[in-house]
Amino acid sequence: MPYKGFKSITVREEVYDKLWKIWEERKDKCVREGITSFSSFITNLLFEVAENYEAIERAEKINRLLEDPDVYNAFMEALQHLKKAHLSPRFEHFNCYEDHVTLWDRKLERLVNVYFNGKPPYVMCELCGRSDCEHVQFALSLPKVVETLRARGWRIEEGKIKYVPP
């Protein structure tokens, strides 16, 4: 009698031979992955087939949903939005002023001002209230901003303020 939970199956000889041949070809790789016997190889193979079958069923269900033009259009719109969000840089230089730079933050979908002055903390993000946030780091990476600050005597190295003249 087979172990509880296990079922005995019979396969045709040519199927067994084909599977044995595949096992022999892949044995070294399988052993490295922890599959050390022919029976565990077959079990793993059947499990992969079952997973692929479930994935195919899900794909067919999605295809049926996408046959509805409204669902399809909403899906494509969402996909375009995701694509744009992931392919575009998060920050964009918007404008420079005498005492600050304005950035567009695509993630937050808003403008952010980063202010510069001669007193500590010297640079401050209006949104975060910090001098070490991503907005400040981006502002200090902009050549136009760095040029302007250096012309005023500031020393900036690797995106960090090293010196501000008194």
Q: List Cβ<8 Å contacts ≥24 apart for 10-14.
A: none
For residue 160, the model assigns a pLDDT of 86
**CB of 140 within 8 A of CB of 159?**
yes
For residue 1, the model assigns a pLDDT of 43
∠ CA 34-9-58 to the nearest 5 degrees?
A: 70
For residue 5, the model assigns a pLDDT of 62
Mean pLDDT by 10 residues, the chain (166 residues): 61 89 92 90 88 90 89 88 76 93 94 93 95 94 93 89 90
Is beta strand 160-163 parallel, antiparallel or unpaired with respect to 155-157? antiparallel
What does DSSP assign to residue 98? Answer: S
For residue 152, the model assigns a pLDDT of 92
For residue 37, the model assigns a pLDDT of 92
Tokens at 140, concatenated: 């200090």
Give CA–CA dist 49/30, Å, rounded.
Answer: 17
**What does pTM read for this prediction?**
0.51
For residue 80, the model assigns a pLDDT of 84
Cis peptide before 121 (omega within 30 of 0): yes
For residue 85, the model assigns a pLDDT of 65
For residue 47, the model assigns a pLDDT of 87
